[in-house]
């Protein structure tokens, strides 16, 4: 190889000489000039760099100090957070916010244990034990309402579908196997449902979506769906029949769902809308069949707020919030709703505290009218509770 390239070089040289461009002496000159140019370039660049640095330092000192807030956590709130951050930064050029969608669990631990972020977003609130541990030091604010949609695909049937917690529970227990089951037919009079096997998709990763979904099943059909089957990751009874499938993330569930001819799945509303999946109407506590929409989602939270089951301060224990809003009373209320919480400390260095307060104020005022499809803004009463944070968070 080496001899080859050397030979190649020589050949090239001979050719150049042949053309008459390069003579023996001028070749050396050329090399010298080239080397000189390189050295000159290095020197110039070095000098430039030093000056550039000084210049940048000087101009930065003149501007107001830039505050960087970092957050991490819920992937669920990420699309909304992106919108909020972009608009907020436009209005407040001296503050920059970074949000990393690492998952609710990681977000909580990065805020509380590792203390590497300034705020976290989490779909589940702090558990009661966690709350006791950080009582008075950590604030929790529900900033957005989400919903879990039950999506279905039935071969040869494109009509609407009504489902109840009881039927969904029996499907996920593996007891209802076909779409033409009498229990499903009873909820959907007149619908021609085929005798097709239902493939049941659930999340394989631990997920807040699963927790909300299973919590709903337990609250609305406790005799069928025991408390032991409530959580972010559970053992799915339907799996033992071979008809259950697990997929990672809403995206994974959507991918499986798209490729199956006859299936049921639960996904965040946003994914169901984005993919135009048919969404089932679910029987709520008042006995009405309701589809998820900003109105029906907000109705659920508003009714929980009216009945006084939600806490009234960011410093309170929110661990029971899901119980308050899932399967809430009210004719319009969609039964499978959830919050996404923003979590912060009560004390920060002064500039950070000021910036964070600005952001919280923005989210709970203007931000609530900039809600992305698939979510719902929180009702006015809840915004007022969240805004109490402005007087709780202290700087310095």
Partner 1 sequence: MSTPGKPLYRSDKLLYYALLPFAAVVIAAFILLFAVLGYVSAPAIKKYGVRLLTTSQWAPNEANPARSVYGLLAPLFGTLVSSTIAVLLALPVTISVVLVIEEYAPERWREIIGSIIEVMAGLPTIVYGLWGLEVLAPLLQKHIYSPLHQLLGFIPLFSCRPVTGFNLATAGVLLAIMILPYMVAVARDAYRAIPFTYKEAALAIGATRYEYAKIMLGLAKPGIVAAALLGFGRAAGETVAVALVVGNVPLVSGCLFKPAYTISSLIANQFSMAPLYPYMMSVLFTGGLILLAIGMAANTVAVIMIARARKRLG
Binding region for partner 1 (CB under 8 A): 102-106, 108-109, 127, 197, 199, 204-207, 228, 231-236, 239-240, 242-248, 252, 255-256, 259-260
- What is the smallest separation between the CB atom of 252 and partner 1, expressed in angstroms? 8
The packing angle between helices 350-364 and 78-91, to 10°, is: 110
Contacts of 329 (CB under 8 A, 6+ apart): 285, 286, 303, 307
- Distance (Å, rounded) from C-alpha 110 to C-alpha 114? 5
Q: Decide whether 109 or 162 has the Cβ nearer to partner 1.
A: 109
Q: Decide whether 103 or 292 has the Cβ nearer to partner 1.
A: 103
Q: Measure CA 315 to chain center.
A: 23
- What is the smallest separation between the CB atom of 113 and partner 1, expressed in angstroms? 8
For residue 150, CA distances in Å to 48, 165, 351, 363 come to: 61, 11, 44, 29
**Residue of 191, 207, 103, 129 whose CA lies nearest to 154:** 191
Helix (H, G, I), strand (E, B) or coil at 314: coil
Q: Decide whether 240 or 380 has the Cβ nearer to partner 1.
A: 240
- Distance (Å, rounded) from C-alpha 30 to C-alpha 26? 6
Q: Decide whether 210 or 298 has the Cβ nearer to partner 1.
A: 210
Q: Decide whether 79 or 105 has the Cβ nearer to partner 1.
A: 105
For residue 382, CA distances in Å to 77, 123, 144, 360 come to: 17, 16, 10, 13
Per-residue 3-state assignment (H helix, E strand, C coil) for 317-383: CCCCHHHHHCCCCCCCCCCCEEEEEEEEECEECHHHHHHHHHHHHHHHCHHHHCCCCCCECCCHHHH
- What is the smallest separation between the CB atom of 296 and partner 1, expressed in angstroms? 28
- What is the smallest separation between the CB atom of 228 and partner 1, expressed in angstroms? 8
- What is the smallest separation between the CB atom of 208 and partner 1, expressed in angstroms? 9
Q: What are phi and psi of 141, to 5 degrees?
A: -130, 120
Q: Decide whether 256 or 289 has the Cβ nearer to partner 1.
A: 256
- What is the smallest separation between the CB atom of 248 and partner 1, expressed in angstroms? 5
- What is the smallest separation between the CB atom of 356 and partner 1, expressed in angstroms? 23
Q: Decide whether 96 or 100 has the Cβ nearer to partner 1.
A: 100
- What is the smallest separation between the CB atom of 199 and partner 1, expressed in angstroms? 6
- What is the smallest separation between the CB atom of 234 and partner 1, expressed in angstroms? 7
Q: Decide whether 96 or 262 has the Cβ nearer to partner 1.
A: 262
Which stretches does DSSP call E strand in the chain? Answer: 67-73, 95-100, 119-122, 138-153, 162-163, 199-203, 244-247, 263-268, 281-283, 289-290, 337-345, 347-348, 394-395
Contacts of 83 (CB under 8 A, 6+ apart): 370, 372
Q: Decide whether 154 or 290 has the Cβ nearer to partner 1.
A: 154
């Amino acid at each position: 190889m080496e001899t080859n390239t050397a030979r190649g070089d020589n050949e090239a040289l001979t050719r150049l000489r042949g053309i008459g461009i390069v003579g023996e002496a001028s070749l050396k000159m050329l090399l010298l000039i080239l080397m000189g140019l390189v050295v000159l370039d290095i020197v110039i660049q070095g000098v430039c760099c030093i000056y550039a640095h000084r210049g940048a330092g000087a101009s930065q000192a003149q501007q107001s100090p830039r505050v960087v807030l970092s957050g991490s956590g819920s992937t669920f709130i990420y699309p909304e957070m992106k919108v909020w951050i972009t608009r907020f930064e436009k209005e407040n050029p001296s503050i920059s916010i970074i949000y990393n969608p690492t998952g609710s669990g990681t977000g909580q631990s990065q805020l509380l244990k590792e203390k590497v972020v300034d705020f976290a977003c989490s779909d589940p609130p702090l558990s009661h034990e966690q709350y006791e541990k950080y009582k008075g030091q950590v604030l929790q604010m529900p900033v957005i309402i989400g919903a879990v949609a039950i999506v279905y695909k039935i071969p040869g049937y494109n009509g609407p579908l009504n489902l109840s917690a009881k039927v969904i529970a029996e499907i996920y227990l593996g007891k209802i196997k076909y779409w033409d089951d009498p229990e499903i037919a009873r909820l959907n009079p007149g619908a021609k449902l085929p005798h097709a096997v239902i493939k049941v998709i659930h999340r394989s990763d631990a997920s807040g979506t699963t927790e909300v979904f299973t919590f709903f099943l337990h609250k609305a059909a406790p005799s069928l769906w025991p408390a032991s089957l409530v959580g972010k990751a559970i053992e799915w009874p339907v799996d033992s029949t071979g008809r259950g499938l697990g997929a990672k993330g809403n995206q994974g569930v959507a991918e499986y769902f798209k490729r199956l001819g006859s299936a049921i799945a639960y996904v965040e509303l946003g994914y169901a809308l984005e993919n135009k999946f048919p969404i089932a109407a679910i029987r709520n506590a008042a006995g009405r069949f309701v589809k998820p929409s900003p109105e029906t989602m907000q109705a659920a939270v508003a009714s929980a707020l009216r009945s006084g089951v939600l806490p009234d301060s960011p410093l309170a224990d929110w661990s029971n919030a899901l119980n308050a809003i899932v399967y809430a009373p009210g004719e319009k209320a969609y039964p499978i709703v959830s919050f996404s919480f923003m979590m912060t400390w009560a004390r920060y260095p002064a500039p950070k505290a000021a910036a964070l307060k600005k952001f919280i104020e923005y989210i709970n005022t203007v931000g609530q009218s900039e809600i992305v499809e698939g979510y719902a803004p929180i009702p006015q009463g809840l915004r007022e509770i969240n805004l109490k944070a402005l007087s709780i968070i202290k700087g310095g």
